[in-house]
Amino acid sequence: MRIVADLGKCEGLGMCEAMAPDFFEVDEDGVVDVLDAEPGEEHRTDLTAAVDACPVLALTLQG
Amino acid sequence: MSVERMVVVGASLAGLRAVEAARRAGYDGELVLVGDEVHAPYDRPPLSKAFLDPDGERGAGAVAQFRSEEVLRDELRVDLRLGTRATGLDTTAREVLLGDERLPYDALVIATGSVPRWLPGTDPAGPDGPLEGVTQLRTVEDARRVREALEAGARIVVVGAGFIGSEVASAARKRGLPVTVVEALDVPLTRSVGPEVGVACVELHRAAGTDLRLGVGVAGLDEETPDGPDGRRRVRAVRLTDGTTLPADLVVLGIGVRPATDWLEGSGVALHDGDRGVLVDATLATNVPGVWAAGDMAHVENPLFDGEQHRLEHWTNAADHGAAAARHALDPAAAEPVVTVPYFWSDWYGHRLQFVGTPRADEARVVVDDLATGGGLVVLYRRADRVVGAFVVDLPRVVMKLRRRVLDRGPWKEAVAFATGSEVPTPR
Ligand SMILES: Cc1cc2nc3c(=O)[nH]c(=O)nc-3n(C[C@H](O)[C@H](O)[C@H](O)COP(=O)(O)OP(=O)(O)OC[C@H]3O[C@@H](n4cnc5c(N)ncnc54)[C@H](O)[C@@H]3O)c2cc1C
Ligand code: SF4
C-alpha cells in the first residue's frame, strides 16, 4: 500500500495528522509530510480514516 | 428491526458523509438523499476563500463538488432527490413529508444544517421581497453574487466581523478594494473564541487596511429610489447607530446562522429552547427512535468536555458526525459516544487561523505573540489544570499536536511548555 499526497492540493489543515500521527505531519510551510509512504497492511483502517478526513481530498491510498 | 430504507435529509457535507458511510458499512438497502438545493453536495469553505480569488489562482470561481450526481447514483446507489424540500416529519408513521409526498423510512438521518440570518427588512421571503445588493454567503449562488461584485469593484460593507464576514473582507483587500466591516460587539468573536483572540483578530483587520467599526450596529439600510418600471428595491447605503452613513454597492451579511429545523417543529423531535437546533445525545440519537442528527443543526453532548452540549458550525464536525450518525442509525445497538475535538480553520489576509477544542474555559492565555513581527500566535485555553483548547495563527505545525493534548485531556503546564518551545515563525 502506498500513500500519495497531492501537495498542490494540500492546504495543511492537518486532519490526516489528527487521524494517523505516525504517518502524517504538517510541516513548517503548512503542507503535509508523509512520514512513511509505504506502510504495512495492518494500518489500513487508520490510513483510510486519514484519507477520508482530508477536507480537500489531497490524499489517496494506492494498492 | 433491520433497516431496509434509510433516508437522509440535507444533501450537503453531513448528508453526503452519511450516505457514504452507510454503503461503506455494507448497508445494501434503499438509500434516499433529499436536498433542497439543485446541486449535488459541494464544499462551502472555499466559497469565501478560493472561489472569491481573482482569476488565475487555484480554485477561483469554481465550485468544489464532492462527488458527481452520476457517482452518487451509480456507484453509491443513492436515490438522489435534489431540489426537493422536506416539509415535515411524521414520527409515528415513520415518514418524511415532501410536500404532498410521503417518504417512508426505517432509519432517518437529519442533516439540514443551518441558514444565515437576515437583517430586518432584507429577507427575500419577507413582505417587501428581495432587496438587491444585500446578500448572505452560504450557497454557491450567494458566492457568485459576491464574486461578481468584487469583479465590478463594488464598495462593500460587511455586517458582522465573524469568520465568514472577515474572509469576505480579506477577498476585497486582496483585490485592493476598500471594505468596511461593521460589528456590534466591542470585541469581535468573543462567543466563539473568547476576547483574547478577538483582540488579536482586530489587529489582523487593521494591518490589512480594512475599516473595522466596532461597537456599532446597523440602524437601517437606505434604498435607491426605484427608477425602472419593475420597481425593484436596491440598497444604496448602510446607516449605523452612531449616525454614520456608509455608501454601499454590496452589503454582505455575516451575522450568524440558525438551525434549519422549521420542518421539524411539532414533529416530536426535541429541539433546543433557544435556537431550535436538534438535541442529540453523545451517540447522535434524537429523542425519537430511529431518528439521528448530525452537522450544523445538532446540539451534541461531548464526553470530552464534561458532557457539555455544543452546536458547532465546523466542517470536520459535520463530516465526522454525518458518517457516525449513519453507522449508528443502521446498527443502534453498536452506537457509541462520539468523542471528537472540535476543529475549524479560517483564512484571513494570507494568515491561517486554526482552532481546536473549546473556548469555554477558566482562562485563555496568550503564550506565543509574534504576529507583529511576522511570526505566529498561540492562545491556550485552560480548565482547572487541563488544556481544553488552542487558537493558532500561522503555526500550522503545532495545531494537531495541541489537538492531541486536548483529546488526551493533557496537563496545562505541558501544553504551555510545548507551545512556547515551538515558536518557529512560519510565513505562508
Ligand atoms: C462561506 C462558508 C465558509 C466556511 N468556511 C469554513 C471553514 O473555513 N472552516 C470550517 O470548519 N467550516 C467552515 N464553514 C462551515 C461548514 O461549511 C459547515 O459547518 C458545513 O457546511 C455544515 O454542513 P452540514 O451538512 O451540517 O450543513 P449545510 O452545509 O448547511 O447543509 C445542509 C443542507 O440541507 C439543505 N436543507 C435545509 N433544509 C432542508 C429541507 N427542509 N429539506 C431539504 N434540504 C434542506 C440545505 O439547503 C443544505 O444543502 C463555512 C461555511 C460557509 C457557508
Ligand atoms: S488533511 Fe489534507 S489538507 Fe490537511 S494536511 Fe492532510 S493532506 Fe493536507
Chain-chain contact of A26 with B396 (C-beta, under 8 angstroms): yes
- State whether residue A15 sits within 8 Å of chain B by CB: yes
What ligand has the least distance to the C-alpha of A3? 2
Q: What integer is the mean pLDDT of B260-281? A: 97
**Cβ pair B386, B306 in contact under 8 A:** no
CA of A37 to the centre of ligand 2 (A): 15
Residue A37's alpha-carbon distances to A12, A32, A59, in angstroms, are 17, 12, 11
B385 DSSP 8-state letter: T
Q: What integer is the mean pLDDT of B120-146? A: 93
SS3 state of residue B389: strand
Residues paired with residue B107 on neighbouring β-strands, in sequence order = B6
What ipTM describes this predicted complex? Answer: 0.87
CA separation for the pair B25, B360 (Å, rounded): 35
pLDDT at res. B425: 44
Digit-coded pLDDT (tens) for A3-57:
999 998 899 999 999 999 999 999 988 899 999 999 999 999 999 989 988 988 8
CA B349 to chain CA centroid, nearest Å: 19
For the four alpha carbons of A10, A13, A14 and A18, in that order, the dihedral sign comes to negative
B123: Cβ–Cβ under 8 A, 6 or more apart, which residues? none
Q: What is the pTM of this model?
A: 0.93
Task: Name the residue facing B397 among A13, A15, A27 (closest C-beta).
Answer: A27
Question: What CATH number is given for A2-62 in this structure?
Answer: 3.30.70.20
Chain-chain contact of A53 with B316 (C-beta, under 8 angstroms): yes
Digit-coded pLDDT (tens) for B380-416:
999 999 999 999 999 999 999 999 999 999 999 999 9
What ligand has the least distance to the C-alpha of B348? 1
Mind telling me how many Å the CA of A7 is from chain B's nearest CA?
A: 13
CA separation for the pair B211, B387 (Å, rounded): 35
**Cβ pair B60, B53 in contact under 8 A:** yes
Mind telling me how many Å the CA of A12 is from chain B's nearest CA?
A: 7
- State whether residue A45 sits within 8 Å of chain B by CB: no
Q: Which amino acid is at B47?
A: L
Q: Which of B406, B376, B371, B370 minimizes the C-alpha distance to B390?
A: B406
pLDDT at B285 over 90: yes
CA separation for the pair B390, A2 (Å, rounded): 33
**Cβ pair B248, B235 in contact under 8 A:** yes
Q: Quickly count: other Cβ atoms within 10 Å of residue B298's Cβ.
A: 31
- State whether residue A41 sits within 8 Å of chain B by CB: no
Mind telling me how many Å the CA of B267 is from chain A's nearest CA?
A: 33
Q: Quickly count: other Cβ atoms within 10 Å of residue B287's Cβ.
A: 14
Task: Name the residue facing A12 among B43, B343, B396 (closest C-beta).
Answer: B396
Region label for B25, one of left (φ > 0), alpha (ψ between -120 and 50) or beta (otherwise): alpha
pLDDT at res. B416: 95
Whether B267 is in the pocket of ligand 1, judged by its Cβ within 6 Å, is no
Mind telling me how many Å the CA of A30 is from chain B's nearest CA?
A: 5
Task: Name the residue facing A30 among B45, B320, B352 (closest C-beta).
Answer: B352
Mind telling me how many Å the CA of A27 is from chain B's nearest CA?
A: 5
**Cβ pair B226, B236 in contact under 8 A:** no
Closest residue in A to B346 (Cα–Cα): A13
The four Cα atoms B138, B141, B145, B148 give a dihedral, to 10 degrees, of: 120
SS3 state of residue A33: strand
- State whether residue A7 sits within 8 Å of chain B by CB: no
CA separation for the pair B161, B237 (Å, rounded): 18
Return mean pLDDT, chain B: 93
**How many Cα atoms sit within 13 Å of B361 on the Cβ side?**
27
Digit-coded pLDDT (tens) for B163-201:
999 999 999 999 999 999 999 999 999 888 989 999 999
pLDDT at B229 over 70: no
**Cβ pair B11, B35 in contact under 8 A:** yes
From atom 8 of ligand 2, which residue's Cα is the shortest distance away?
Answer: A10
Region label for B169, one of left (φ > 0), alpha (ψ between -120 and 50) or beta (otherwise): alpha
Digit-coded pLDDT (tens) for B291-350:
999 999 999 999 999 888 889 999 999 999 999 999 999 999 999 999 989 999 999 999
Domains detected in chain B: 5-115+257-334 (3.50.50.60), 118-253 (3.50.50.60), 350-420 (3.30.390.30)
CA of B94 to the centre of ligand 2 (A): 40
Domain boundaries, chain A: 2-62
Can you tell me which atom of ligand 2 is nearest the CA of A50?
1
Show the cell assigned to B91. Answer: 414520527
B274: Cβ–Cβ under 8 A, 6 or more apart, which residues? none
CA separation for the pair B115, B123 (Å, rounded): 12
CA separation for the pair B143, B44 (Å, rounded): 10
Whether B378 is in the pocket of ligand 1, judged by its Cβ within 6 Å, is no
With bands split at pLDDT 50, 70 and 90, how would you rate the model's confidence at B206? very high
Scan for cell 489587529, then name that residue: B203
pLDDT at res. B57: 52
For residue B392, the surrounding DSSP H or E stretch is strand B386-393
Task: Name the residue facing A26 among B58, B316, B397 (closest C-beta).
Answer: B397
Who lines ligand 2 at CB under 6 A?
A: A 5, 10-16, 24, 26, 32, 54, 56, 58-59
pLDDT at res. B231: 74
CA separation for the pair A29, B187 (Å, rounded): 30
Chain-chain contact of A18 with B428 (C-beta, under 8 angstroms): no
Q: If you compute the radius of gyration of chain B from its CA atoms, what whole number of angstroms results?
A: 22
The per-residue DSSP string of B235-284 comes to: EEEEEETTS-EEE-SEEEE-S-EEE--GGGTTSS--B-TTT-PEEE-TT-
- State whether residue A29 sits within 8 Å of chain B by CB: yes
Digit-coded pLDDT (tens) for B75-119:
999 999 999 999 999 999 999 999 999 999 999 999 999 999 999
Whether B10 is in the pocket of ligand 1, judged by its Cβ within 6 Å, is yes
